[in-house]
Structure 1
């Protein structure tokens, strides 16, 4: 009994320190939702998926030369976001649970958690038929509901909402829905056009953000879908090696719809705040001005196979470059660690060109 009281006291001390965080720590916690751009190892815990990054050369530049499940040569957007906020990287949620709904280490949640899953999307069916078991956004939100109940129980009905209201909720999703759902016939035969399928995905995402709001989230960082048609995968299937402009056009329409939903959600939930990151425009800028950012190669992936090393993803036996900092892209879809750091620099401190209506630093101050 005495040991239990000591553990509870230590827990509460950590809580108090997280709610009265130092100047170096800009927010108490970061909660991450999305896909492979921000997955830090959740897919490692899925037994029935083929989408994992837990092998070299993934992680070749990560501390300790460690392949953690990140689809990158080193750290990714989730890591750099936490770093800029003054926090450790949010741990993969599945590393904290022994079974569904059972969290082993609640104190780890005080600075956030990462629910992202590589190849997953907004919709429950996205990617499943190709890749097997994934964690779609609906399940990720459900996992957060478990975190909400755990911290509400541990902190009390007053302290828990304060923690969530000051925290950042980072949403990086939609890419896989654009690739695997929107261009093809709806499996349920309900939505007949691309626009209808896109609207369905966007409306679903808006509902998911509203669910997070209802659980106490108030500050959202939402990224648009990047310029996929100019990634090595997009170029690899073009006869000229140019960008796939059909994909790019689709993404522009999607991103416009996403911004519309964010504005609508803001009008419905008055104390909701958000920062939208135009990752499409950021990637376009990096490609057009690659040399200014120190990228000698902006078309070919560092690791992969086929034209532009973009036709097949990075695998254990794939050839890979020795000078990763010279490359904009790590594999057919994902930027290198260096490029992802630049992306986060824009997300946090951009002066309205790529992030609006406020950047992350301004969002935190609201």
Structure 2
């Protein structure tokens, strides 16, 4: 496997040294889409699942876990860096110990309820979390539970499927007015979701920005030249800018709210500009799939599987490889303001 369990343990040891023994991060609560989902859809009434090969080929035992990855995803790496023995379990899984957090994310879901209608939208994910928060208050008492939640990290990956819905034509033909209206709608809904989490006790937020969605293998197959879609990338940048503006506003108006915004767009742009610097060679085609750039067929047990997965940026038609997930985690955790603003996750954990 490309990144072993022992690598995760070593990362955790280094991270604990960097964060300090006195850092108090009691739990991780994860929300969002397939970029951070660890298997909730396996227990949900949806056909959008990743519980089959070749997914998980580099996970310990080569087991599909419901992650859209050849192995681990960003949350696994961040959990290790923060000193946890493992990432928080999927909320819907049989594992019901949520003392150190839970993962509520659902592949295919969005900020809007209408995005990925058979998956678990962000609104419902937060509803699930509310039950966890209520249980914590019953078990710990209101004051202790509030302290626990205020020191915990809330990790959120919003917007990628909402953008996919926009470019699928479901929202109508793209034009400048419709673009801005759509982004405004997403930001209003996201603001409501973040405020809801805040009122349930969340104080420390890590928000993952959109990557270069116009450079995914899927997006490239839709451009005449096979190059990145400038329009889609511009839309991602506009959304990211609006999210950071929202976070600035909320952190100045909601007492005690702090955040770190992961600029995944800049991270991926750096890899695309100089793949060799990051140990990668193939940044255009998917590792697993079929057709043009291996992006016209999904990653299934009978699909093509590249042998050199650590050299690929993309695992399938839209999802990164474990190698890219690892890079996102590293730069989110202790990266400069080019990649994490206004502070990185390590600094957020120390506040």
Contact 1:25 1:86 in 2 (8 A): no
Structure 1 length as normaliser, TM-score? 0.86
Q: Distance in 2 between matches of 1:253 and 1:271?
A: 27
CA shift, 1:312, in A, is 2.5
CA deviation string 1:259-288 (max 9, x = no partner): 111111112103100001111111111111
Match status 1:282 vs 2:267: yes
Find the residue that maps to 2:107 and give its secondary structure.
Answer: coil
Q: Give the aligned partner of residue 324 of structure 1.
A: 309
Q: Give the aligned partner of residue 109 of structure 1.
A: 98
Structure 2 length as normaliser, TM-score? 0.90
CA deviation string 1:126-165 (max 9, x = no partner): 022xxxx200000001000000001110111111111111
Q: Give the aligned partner of residue 356 of structure 1.
A: 341
Structure 1 residue ranges (4+ consecutive) displaced by more than 2 angstroms after TM superposition = 181-187
Q: Distance in 1 between matches of 2:35 and 2:185?
A: 23
Q: Distance in 2 between matches of 1:245 and 1:274?
A: 29
> Alignment partner for residue 36 of structure 1, among 34, 37, 43?
34
Q: Distance in 1 between matches of 2:210 and 2:56?
A: 24
Q: Distance in 2 between matches of 1:197 and 1:244?
A: 19
CA shift, 1:232, in A, is 0.8
| Structure 2: segments with no counterpart, 5+ residues | 1-18
Q: Give the aligned partner of residue 194 of structure 1.
A: 179
Aligned residue-pair number = 328
**1:117-156 mapped onto 2 (5 Å cutoff):** 117-128=106-117, 133-156=118-141
Contact 1:57 1:316 in 2 (8 A): yes
> Alignment partner for residue 84 of structure 1, among 81, 85, 100?
81
Match status 1:235 vs 2:220: yes
Q: Give the aligned partner of residue 308 of structure 1.
A: 293
Larger Rg: 1
Q: Distance in 2 between matches of 1:156 and 1:322?
A: 52
Q: Distance in 2 between matches of 1:176 and 1:93?
A: 21
Q: Distance in 1 between matches of 2:20 and 2:339?
A: 28
| Structure 1: segments with no counterpart, 5+ residues | 1-20, 97-103
Contact 1:182 1:194 in 2 (8 A): no
CA deviation string 1:195-233 (max 9, x = no partner): 112111111011101110111111000011110111111
Contact 1:278 1:354 in 2 (8 A): yes
CA shift, 1:335, in A, is 1.0
